[in-house]
Chain A
Amino acid sequence: MLDRPLAPPPVEVIVAVTQALHREARLLDNEDFEGWLAMLGKDVSYRLELKSRRFRADRSPPLPFGPGVIFNEDLGRLKMRVDRLKSGFVWAEDPPNYIRRAVSNVEVLATQPDNEVRVHSVLVMHRNRIDGTTRLLTAGRTDLWRSEGGAWLLTAREIVLDHSVLPDSNLNAFF
């Protein structure tokens, strides 16, 4: 899929999709997981691949089964993660932790079919846990959003995490 800068989507679409990103961040900050799941398409793909630090000139072949993932989820797997978080047994989340997401650098690009848009954004996630342990995680995201039944639904998200060593003891959080 190439970015098609020729004809930007209508401004109403840009506003609606940008608002959807902000709404999604707010629902997740508030642990409204059911509200968040309702913003996802039935065919959603939610991925975050592992990386390694390699020299630019390095030509070694890709790993036989790929790099592995941090997230490679469909709707069922995301629901399973939500079930775990809501089980009442995830002690790391009780008391609830302070978490705030800021969405920025939003680019909404036209794509085919007409009822979909491709969206680049940056997510900054601030986590304050336990007795004040604070971690700032940043990630880039490339999404597909689809207009369906009067709402914009997230149908694909590729996340790039900007940390070669995860600086926190869990990722009980969605990007």
Chain B
Amino acid sequence: MNDSIADLVDSRTGRQSRSIYASEDIYRQELERIFGRCWLFLVHTSQIPKPGDYFRTFMGEDDVIVIRQKDGSIKAFLNSCTHRGNRICRADRGNARAFTCNYHGWSFSPDGALSGVPLENEAYFGELDRTKFGLIPVTKVAEYKGLVFGCWDANSPSLDDYLGDAKFFLDVWLDAMPGGSALLGETQKMVLGTNWKLPVENVCGDGYHLGWAHAGAMAAVQSMDLTGLSVGNSGVDLDGGLSVAGMNGHMVLSALDGVSGYAFYPDPKPILEYLEANRQTVIDRLGEVRGRQVWGAQVNITIFPNLQLLPGLNWFRVYHPKGPGQIEQWTWAMAENDMPEAVKAQILENQCLTFGLAGLFDNDDGDNLTACTEQSRGWRTAQMDVYTNMAVGRSGKREGFPGDIAAGLVSEHNQRYFYRRWQEHMMAETWAEVPTYNINSLTEQEAEHA
């Protein structure tokens, strides 16, 4: 299979075989080598604040429960009874002292231990070794400043190393202000008939589609110019933003004006006041480049393989694959804890308006991604390629930033790195064969003084 994977993607020229969006065999290999190997986002600590709080999510197609422990730590387990495999929790979230299986009544405590077995003495004759039937824990669980990730592969790098230089950008949300971050609202869940890679690709680097695919929404709600983009794709300004990649498969798009994240708020005034009032604090904490130019700007951050967050527009999203041609897309609003209550409420409100289930922008993307997936299933189309060959070879170092950087938000530079990472994982038998790279990494001192 590795020979064929080598042919499916050419990240130098920007070519992908359409079969990667349609093939069942490739999908099964993705579940093993990408979702079974990478660190996957599970929950934000703000979503399970108290002991016994739990949140149900997925790692690939594996259903997991993430539970806050008595000691404040967080554990995650397969949501599957160790007796006959039934799902033990059918709720989205909540607080529980125990999880009891609906089938035969086995119950498990929040630390995963098998705590109760009906008829244990009468039917098992007291011979069941409960210690061998605890819930199956996720191999590794780790947190980075509020973001909790899980990983099935014992040989993976640490979460810190996995995130690499993407932390430089993650900190623009997670650590800009001393109070840290939170996710707001219930999970906004939508089924889309797309391969999981297409929405990731769309948000990781595709500034090209914004002015065209979302022209109707931009015409209706835009309250200020978004540097680098225009309605109807009639013009583009490549000086106003960056496409940043080459960070272990993670990618960032960033405008550099410090305010444009809020360009799609009908009334951005309260948030602009918050940004102005706290700008110096953030500059002191993160340096001039991130504090003045990135914090508040339109920023798209992609953590490989399936997490995307847009500080500024303030939506946070994971894509759960459900076969080669389907996903569930889960979205929340994201806020900084230091924001005034009214600003947080406005962020939740505006995130729902723009990128919610009836989101003015979000509702433009689903059919495009679905059709790209369907147009890879034909006898003829499955033999064809698609291209991300815009601005090839026009990237390099940019003062003050890590990564291999192309100018502007309109480029296909990031998508090429996304598919390169996909290919690196798919060809590797083990983590040891997956290359690690943080191109143009800044020294700690450079990052602080940038």
Contact A165 B190, CB 8 Å, known A64-B184, A91-B213: yes
Q: Which residue of A lies closest to B192 (CB)?
A: A169
Q: Which residues B369-398 have CB closer than 8 A to chain A?
A: 369-371
Q: In the complex, what's the smallest C-beta–C-beta distance from A91 to chain B, in angstroms?
A: 7
* Bound-state Cα–Cα, A64 to B341, Å: 10
Render A136-175 as a binary contact track against B, CB cut-off 8 A, 1 for contact: 0000000000000000000000000000111111111000
Residues from chain B with Cβ under 8 Å of A102 in the complex: none
Q: In the complex, what's the smallest C-beta–C-beta distance from A67 to chain B, in angstroms?
A: 4
Q: In the complex, what's the smallest C-beta–C-beta distance from B181 to chain A, in angstroms?
A: 13
Q: Which residue of A lies closest to B213 (CB)?
A: A91
B189 near A164 (CB under 8 angstroms)? Answer: yes
Render B182-211 as a binary contact track against A, CB cut-off 8 A, 1 for contact: 101111111111000000000000000000
User: Which stretch from A2-10, A36-44, A47-55 is at the chain B interface?
Assistant: A47-55
Residues from chain B with Cβ under 8 Å of A167 in the complex: 191
Of B50, B189, B232, B351, which one neighbours A166 at CB under 8 angstroms? B189
Render A52-93 as a binary contact track against B, CB cut-off 8 A, 1 for contact: 111100111001111111111000010011011101111110
* Bound-state Cα–Cα, A8 to B66, Å: 51
Q: In the complex, what's the smallest C-beta–C-beta distance from B63 to chain A, in angstroms?
A: 13
Q: In the complex, what's the smallest C-beta–C-beta distance from B370 to chain A, in angstroms?
A: 6
Contact A84 B358, CB 8 Å, known A50-B186, A55-B91, A60-B53: no
How many residues of B sit at the interface, in one of the four size bands?
35 or more
- Indicate whether A130 reaches chain B with its CB closer than 8 angstroms: yes
A50 near B188 (CB under 8 angstroms)? Answer: yes
Contact A81 B184, CB 8 Å, known A54-B92, A59-B95, A92-B367: no
- Indicate whether B352 reaches chain A with its CB closer than 8 angstroms: yes
Residues from chain A with Cβ under 8 Å of B345 in the complex: 65
- Indicate whether B15 reaches chain A with its CB closer than 8 angstroms: no
Q: Which residues B311-363 have CB closer than 8 A to chain A?
A: 328, 333, 341, 344-345, 348-349, 351-353, 356-358, 360, 362-363
* Bound-state Cα–Cα, A37 to B345, Å: 27
Residues from chain B with Cβ under 8 Å of A60 in the complex: 50, 53, 93-95
Contact A51 B186, CB 8 Å, known A68-B356, A167-B191: yes
Q: Which residue of A lies closest to B190 (CB)?
A: A166
Q: Which residues of B contact A (CB under 8 A)?
A: 50, 53, 90-96, 182, 184-193, 213, 215-217, 219-221, 232, 266, 328, 333, 341, 344-345, 348-349, 351-353, 356-358, 360, 362-364, 366-371
Task: List the 4 shortest-distance A-B pairs measured between CB atoms, nearest first.
Answer: A169-B366, A68-B185, A89-B216, A170-B363
| Besides A60-B93, A168-B366, 11 other A-B contacts (C-beta < 8 A) | A52-B186, A58-B94, A59-B95, A63-B186, A67-B185, A68-B185, A72-B349, A80-B221, A88-B216, A170-B363, A171-B358
